[in-house]
Amino acid sequence: MPRGIWSTYTDSPAHGPFLRLPATARQELQVAEALLRGEWSLANCAVAQDGDGYLVVIRLVNYRLGVPRPRRAVSRQILQYLDADLRPTATVELDCSLLHAVACHPFDVSRTFGVEDVRPFRWRGAWWFTGVSCNVEPYGNPRVVLGCIDQRGRRIEHLVELFYPEQLHMEKNWLPIAQGERLTLLYSTNPFVLLAVDPESGLCRTQRYSALLADEQLDLRGSGAPVNLPDGRLLYSVHGVADAGNGRTYWHCFVALDAGLEATHLSYPFVFEGRPVEFSCGHCLTHDGSHLLIAWSRDDSQCFISAVPLAEVERLLQPLALSPTG
């Protein structure tokens, strides 16, 4: 892919200004004060189809941006069930106590505790997720975990650290792709790396490796996990961080895969509102397939769902010139 794919409106994907995503509706997510307890903020969030409605996972944190953090930063996870019109029908806190049992960097010595960046997906008749924890690695570095939620939808009943021999010192943002009995992880977009995973041991191996972009310096980090489109393709999102001269700004892109999980299209980079810290952890189609629902957070303090016409998403996608598979 030529470096100038975004040159129609910006000189570089590493600098602004960025396209504002053409959403037709936006809804702020709310959590009852009884769960917030006066000291918790809404941070990352993800959304997935659930029967005739939707499941939203909301991360709560005990800190705010721009304010000195407490001695220990803690994350909690809230499961919120929505009907087809995005009205809440039930809200429960996910019991993450299994983390205490598997942690090798325990709560009483850790500066960060909990499961972060939860990305839910249906597999083998249950809700599974990938997430991040700093408590499963001896030195407190972030590692990706794979978990399963019990059938009552209230507690984590299986949790394992994922291990890939080529992984970095710190890891985040691996995206799950569940197809029948097969679970694949999207480890990286640039280069494009897919992993096969053993859900019991957490061991991963390279399933596919191919350079995706001509610009090897372009750092595309996973955001929303792939979802199926009506025509059989899959769509996921990535994010990057720009330095526009007045601080860091998060931007996102969509990536389309064909049915064989080959990357074929990349979108123009976009923002939601243009605030410095905007992050999407998951999206899904509406049940009629007309819109993409994107869950995203602003400044680690508010969470939203934006509805974007699928036709507008398609309009943003541009064909990729792929490098040969390695």
Closest by CA to 110, choosing from 129, 133, 130, is 133
pLDDT, mean of each 10-residue run, the chain (326 residues): 39 60 94 90 96 98 81 93 97 96 75 94 98 92 97 96 95 96 95 96 95 67 96 96 73 94 91 90 97 95 96 92 48
Cα separations in angstroms, 268 against 40, 90, 128: 34, 36, 30
pLDDT tens digits, one per residue of 217-268: 678 899 999 999 999 999 999 998 877 666 678 899 999 999 999 999 999 8
Cα separations in angstroms, 105 against 72, 129, 169, 173, 313: 13, 21, 16, 21, 42
Predicted pLDDT of residue 161: 97
What's the pTM value of the predicted model, to 2 decimals?
0.91
DSSP state of 92: E
Predicted pLDDT of residue 6: 44
Domain ranges, ordered by start, for the chain: 3-319
Q: What angle do CA 106, 123, 41 make, to 5 degrees?
A: 45
Predicted pLDDT of residue 17: 64
Record the tokens describing residue 126, joined without a space.
Answer: 């249950």
Top CATH class, 3-319: mainly beta
Q: How far apart are CA 111 and CA 96, in angstroms?
A: 17
Predicted pLDDT of residue 139: 86
Predicted pLDDT of residue 7: 40
pLDDT tens digits, one per residue of 266-304: 998 999 988 888 999 999 999 999 999 999 999 888 999
Predicted pLDDT of residue 129: 98
